[in-house]
Amino acid sequence: MENNHEHEVHHKAAVHHRKAAHHLEAAAKHQLEAANADDLDDEVTAAHHGYLAYGHMIQATHFAEMAAKEDESVDNADVDHN
C-alpha cells in the first residue's frame, strides 16, 4: 500500500507524463505542418515548423526524464527500505 509521500511522488510523475505527452503531440503537429510545407516546396515554413517540432521534442524528453526519475525514486526507496 502506498503512503502519502509515495502518492505525491507518483502524482508529480503523472503531471510530468502529461506534459511530455502534450509536447509530443505538439511536435507531431509541427512535423506534419513541415511535411505539408515541403510538399508545397515552401522551405521557410518547413524549416519553421521543423524547428518548433524539435523544440517540443526536447521539452517532451525533459518531462519524460523527470517522470522517470520521480517513479524511480519511489522504486529505489521501496528496495532500500523494504
Number of domain units in the chain: 1
Residue pLDDT, tens place only, 27-78:
999 999 999 999 999 999 999 999 999 999 999 999 999 999 998 887 665 5
- Looking at per-residue confidence, does 33 or 4 come out higher? 33
Asked if the structure places residue 76 within a domain, the reply is no
pLDDT at 81 over 50: no
Residue 67: closest CA among 4, 21, 2: 21
Asked if the structure places residue 82 within a domain, the reply is no
Q: Are 10 and 70 in contact (CB under 8 A)?
A: yes
Q: What's residue 82's pLDDT?
A: 46
Summarize the confidence of residues 5-32 as an average pLDDT: 95
Counted residue by residue, the chain has a size of 82
Place of cell 517540443: 56
**Reported pTM:** 0.80
Asked if the structure places residue 78 within a domain, the reply is no
